[in-house]
Structures are given as structure tokens and as C-alpha cells.
Amino acid sequence: MERAFEPQVFGTTKHIILEGFQGGDLAPVFVLKPEPLVVAEGESAKFCCRLVGSPRPLVKWFINGNQVVNGSKYKIRNDGIHQLEIPKTGEWDKGEVEVCARNAHGETKYSTTLDVRQRNDDYRSLLKNSP
């Protein structure tokens, strides 16, 4: 049984060099991984990643083990960079964010975190200084 090529990735997101890759079939490989985020409740959060693979990998996002569905609460985009956007975060979004990519030659996953902090809306200082 032939194994899929497992390349080493070098370079930036603009210039990618896959050492030893001759073209053809390639299991998904991350060239840009999503970063952990800390946001205040109600703020937006955006996770981005970039992958290479042949054929083009199918990408799915998960929050705390639940698959994310594109809609009004979550926005999933792919314009060369795969993005998961949460326009208005809530306490329930806090936790593990995982991105999974799969094609006929393999699968790869990467996990990061989203920390949603409670808003500290303390207006006492504003009221104290009002006329």
C-alpha cells in the first residue's frame, strides 16, 4: 500500500515550499494555524488557517466537540484562507476550537482555545463625574 507524501513546510503564507514534493496526491498540511483568542463577551472572534492538499481538503470547524454550521451565529468562509467568525461571542463559545481537514489521502486536525471574558460594565465612574 502506497503512503501519502508527508512534506515539511517552509516559508510564509505567500511563498510555500514543500520539500521533496513532486506534485500529485498530498494529504492536508497546515501552513497557517489558528491562534488562541481572548475576547470580551459580545465581541467578535475570528479564527483563520491555511492548508495545502491535493485533492483540495474538506475543512470543518468544531467548538467544544460540536460541529459549527454556517449561519447567523457562526460565519464560515474560504477565500484561500479558511475562517471561522463568531460575530457576537457568548459564554457558551468559550473552550476548544478545532479545525479538521480531510481528503482522500489523509486527515489533519489542530486545536486552539477561545476565552470569553465577562464584560465589566461599571458605569459608576462615569456617573460620578457627570454634571
Mean pLDDT of 83-111: 98
- pLDDT confidence of residue 118: 92
Does residue 131 belong to any structural domain of this protein? no
d(CA 109, CA 55): 17
CATH number, domain of 50, equals 2.60.40.10
Predicted confidence band of residue 43 (pLDDT cuts 50, 70, 90): very high
Which pTM value belongs to this model? 0.76
d(CA 19, CA 23): 11
Does residue 46 belong to any structural domain of this protein? yes
Asked if pLDDT for residue 128 goes beyond 70, the answer is no
The domain tally of the chain equals: 1
